Amino acid sequence: MKIVNSAFQISVSALSGLPQESFPEIVFAGRSNVGKSTLLNSLTGVKGLAKTSSTPGKTRLINYFLINQDVYFVDLPGYGYAAVGQAEKALWGNLLSSYIIQRRSISLVVLLLDSRHPAMQSDRAMIGFLESHERPYGIVLTKYDKLRQKEKVQTRRIMESCAAKAKFIVNYSSFSGKGKSELLAHFDHYIC
C-alpha cells in the first residue's frame, strides 16, 4: 500500500469507547519501548503523529489513526513494562487481550519484537496468545540498525522457529527506513 493520508482519530481507554468497526484494523503490538509508535511515524512519514519516548510506557491508551480514509492503524500500549503497578498492569493486560479477542475488524496484528532480544518470555506468550485465538499476525524485528552481522543470522533463526504461523517476518529500522516498503507490501493483503 502507498500511504497518502494519515490522521489521528481517537484515543480510548476502554473497549466501550472504541470507534465503530467501519474499517479494517492493522494493529501494532509489542513490549514497551520496542518502537511501535516510532514505526507508525516511519510508515506514515509523519513525525510526531504517534507520541514516542526513550522512556518505556509512553503509550497508555489505544490510539487510532485513519490511513488513506480506508484503514485504521492502531497503536497499542506496550506490555511487560516493569515500572507500572500490578493493578495497572492487570488492567492493561485485560484491555489488550479483550480487544484482540473481541474486535472483529482486526485484519492483522503486527507484533514488534526487539531484534536484539527476539524471544523473551512475554513475546513468546504473545505469540502463543495470537496463535491460540487464530489471529493473523506478522512479525517486525525492530531496531535492526543495532545488530551486528552474526546477530542478524541468529535472530532470524530464532524467530523462524518460535513464530511458525507468522505471515511474514520483516527486519526493520525506523531510522534508516529499512523494511518499510516490504512491510507496506504485506499490508496490501489485509486492507481490502
Ligand X SMILES: Nc1nc2c(ncn2[C@@H]2O[C@H](COP(=O)(O)OP(=O)(O)OP(=O)(O)O)[C@@H](O)[C@H]2O)c(=O)[nH]1
Q: Does position 173 bind Mg ion by CB under 5 A?
A: no
Q: Does position 53 bind ligand X by CB under 6 A?
A: yes
- Subset of residues 19 to 48 that bind Mg ion, contact rule: CB under 5 A: 36-37
Stretch that binds ligand X, among 50-58, 101-109, 122-130, 152-160 (CB under 6 A): 50-58
Tell me the sheet residues that pair with 113: 141
- Which of 75, 159, 167 minimizes the C-alpha distance to 120? 159
Residues 6+ positions from 29 with CB-CB distance below 8 Å: 36, 76, 79, 96, 100, 109, 110, 111, 112, 126
- Subset of residues 104 to 123 that bind Mg ion, contact rule: CB under 5 A: none
Question: Nearest distance from residue 150's CB to ligand X, in Å?
Answer: 18
Stretch that binds Mg ion, among 39-47, 50-58, 120-128, 129-137 (CB under 5 A): 50-58
Q: Can you tell me which residue has the cell 512519514?
A: 45
3 state SS of 170: strand
Q: Does position 122 bind ligand X by CB under 6 A?
A: no
Q: Does position 143 bind ligand X by CB under 6 A?
A: yes
3 state SS of 128: helix
- Cα angle: 77, vertex 80, 85; to 5 degrees: 85
Among 33, 42, 59, 155, interactor with Mg ion by CB under 5 A? 59
Provide the binding-site residues for ligand X, judged by CB under 6 A.
30, 32-38, 52-54, 56-59, 77-78, 142-143, 145-146, 173-175
